[in-house]
């Protein structure tokens, strides 16, 4: 019988898209479309953002039309292969930023990324309020209703020089201004692993969780002129049951129409859903902290 020809090996991306890993045992699971980037031994508290800054200083990347650096867990979280990511970019050419959110359920259950972080990171609202205020930003952002179109839970970015040239200094400015103005006691907490009580993030400080939630604010301020495309993730969307789908639709409709009545309907529905799925103890502890009654649509 004839022997079937072996499948062709995946081709490396023509775009410089890196995949960050920290341990040798993570390397076999990397997507062969991306370029492996060994980040072992680097312990910067800003995590991926520090990698972005380091890569942005490379002359070759400064001439690239697009580039990015993704987590070693990109495929696992998004269900998207490197080839599928490249196709999504090719299908929507001319954008300054391509990004995705692997957790669409958060778009349904929280009005923004800041409130999504409250159950996971102790004193998150208080610390984020201090950081935004010290950086000269509006702390009302923490309670603002935001569109799902800009909801971002991970630093999964592929961007143009225009994006990186605006985004990196803007975020660096936020961090540096906050660090210069905050009291030492607050900085000690922000620099501590108290943000990771369950040990799910290798003892990370608070800074990466704050930085990864700044994208919507950046896109309304320094990045307002950029062309942005949010890539759909079919595997993640498949997890959405009918209640989550309706909750997201309702929240986005309230945002588009700026309807406080519809927001109230969403809030009641969301709270009932959380009572059924998360339990009464969780709801008693967290719902008062994530049920904004004084808010803006942004």
Nearest Cα neighbor of 29 from 76, 99, 87, 64 is 76
- pLDDT tens digits along 98-119: 999 999 999 999 999 999 999 9
pLDDT at 157 over 60: yes
- Which range is least confidently modeled, 13-22, 86-95, 218-227, 239-248? 13-22
Q: Give 49: exposed, middle or buried? Use CB within 10 Å, 0-12, 13-18, 19+.
A: buried
Q: What is the pLDDT of residue 8?
A: 55
Instruction: Identify which has the larger pLDDT, 2 or 166.
Output: 166
Query: What number of other Cβ atoms are within 10 A of residue 139's Cβ?
Result: 16
Question: So what's the pLDDT on residue 12?
Answer: 66
pLDDT at 4 over 70: no
pLDDT at residue 11 tops 70 = no
pLDDT at residue 207 is higher than 80: yes
Residue 201: pLDDT band with limits 50, 70, 90: confident
Question: What is the pLDDT, as a whole number, of residue 41?
Answer: 84
Would you place residue 169 in the very low, low, confident or very high pLDDT band (cuts 50, 70, 90)?
very high
Percent of the chain with pLDDT over 90: 87
**For position 165, what pLDDT does the model report?**
97
Of the pLDDT bands very low, low, confident and very high (cuts 50, 70, 90), residue 14 is confident
Per-residue pLDDT at 7: 52
The whole-number pLDDT of residue 155 equals: 93
What would the mean pLDDT of 54-75 be, rounded to a whole number?
95
Q: Given this model, what pLDDT does residue 24 score?
A: 93
Q: What is the tens place of the pLDDT at every residue in 37-62?
A: 999 988 788 999 999 999 999 999 99
Asked if 99 and 152 touch (Cβ cutoff 8 Å), the reply is: yes
pLDDT digits (tens, 9 = 90+) for 123-149: 999 999 999 999 999 999 999 999 999
> Stretch 248-262: mean pLDDT, rounded?
97
The pLDDT tens digits of the residues spanning 178-200 come to 999 999 999 999 999 999 888 87
Percentage of the chain modeled with pLDDT above 70: 96
pLDDT mean over 209-233: 97
Query: How far apart (Å, rounded) are the C-alpha atoms in residues 73 and 38?
Result: 14
């Amino acid at each position: 019988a004839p022997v079937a020809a072996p499948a062709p090996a995946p081709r490396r991306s023509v775009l410089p898209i890196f995949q960050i890993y920290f341990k040798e045992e993570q390397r076999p699971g990397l997507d062969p479309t991306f370029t492996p980037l060994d980040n072992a031994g680097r312990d910067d508290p800003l995590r991926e953002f520090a990698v972005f800054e380091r890569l942005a200083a490379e002359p070759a990347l400064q001439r690239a039309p697009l580039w990015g650096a993704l987590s070693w867990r990109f495929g696992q979280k998004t269900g998207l292969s490197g080839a599928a990511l490249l196709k999504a970019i090719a299908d929507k050419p001319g954008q300054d930023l391509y990004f995705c959110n692997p957790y669409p359920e958060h778009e349904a259950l929280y009005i923004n990324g800041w409130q999504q972080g409250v159950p996971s990171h102790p004193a998150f609202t208080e610390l984020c309020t201090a950081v935004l205020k010290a950086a000269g930003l509006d702390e009302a952002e923490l309670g603002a209703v935001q569109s799902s179109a800009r909801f971002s839970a991970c630093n999964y970015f592929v961007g143009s020089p225009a994006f990186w040239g605006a985004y990196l200094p803007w975020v660096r400015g936020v961090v540096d201004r906050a660090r210069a103005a905050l009291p030492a006691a607050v900085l000690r907490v922000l620099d501590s692993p108290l943000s990771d009580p369950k040990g799910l993030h290798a003892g990370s400080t608070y800074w990466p969780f704050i930085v990864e939630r700044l994208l919507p604010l950046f896109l309304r301020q320094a990045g307002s002129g950029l062309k942005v495309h949010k890539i759909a993730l079919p595997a993640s969307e498949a997890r959405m049951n009918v209640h989550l789908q309706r909750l997201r639709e309702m929240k986005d409709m309230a945002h588009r129409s700026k309807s406080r009545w519809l927001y109230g309907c969403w809030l009641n529905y969301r709270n009932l859903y959380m009572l059924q799925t998360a339990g009464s103890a969780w709801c008693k502890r967290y719902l008062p902290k994530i049920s904004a009654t004084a808010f803006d649509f942004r």
